[in-house]
Amino acid sequence: MAYNKVSIFSSFVLLLSFLLLICSGERHAKQSTLVCNTIYGTRVGDTCSSIIEAFQLTATSFGAINPNLNCNKVFVGEWLCIDGSIE
């Protein structure tokens, strides 16, 4: 009878350990979200540099709030974020 209780208890501990191992696996990092407060529609002659200068931005922050922007292919009417944050 005592052997049966030990066996059941051991099985329970093993099962609990297995479940904890599965549940504590790799957790996915929370994805960041871009929040844009102000946008700007590009005009003829605009470049990334001229927009950065006009709105007193840094190249790093401008790139972060416009992650898909290709500065070699800015086109008239393209909407760019000029005031935003990453949360």
**64 belongs to a structural domain:** yes
**6 belongs to a structural domain:** no
State if pTM tops 0.85. no
Q: What is the CATH number of the domain that holds 62?
A: 3.10.350.10
- The alpha helices in 1-87, defined as continuous H runs, are 2-23, 48-54, 59-65
pLDDT in tens, 38-60: 999 999 999 999 999 999 999 99
Strand partners, 71: none
**13 belongs to a structural domain:** no
Strand partners, 34: 86
**19 belongs to a structural domain:** no
Give the count of domains, the chain.
1
Mean per-residue pLDDT over the chain, rounded: 85
**Residues spanned by the domain of 43:** 34-86
Tell me the C-alpha distance between 55 and 37, whole Å. 14
**23 belongs to a structural domain:** no
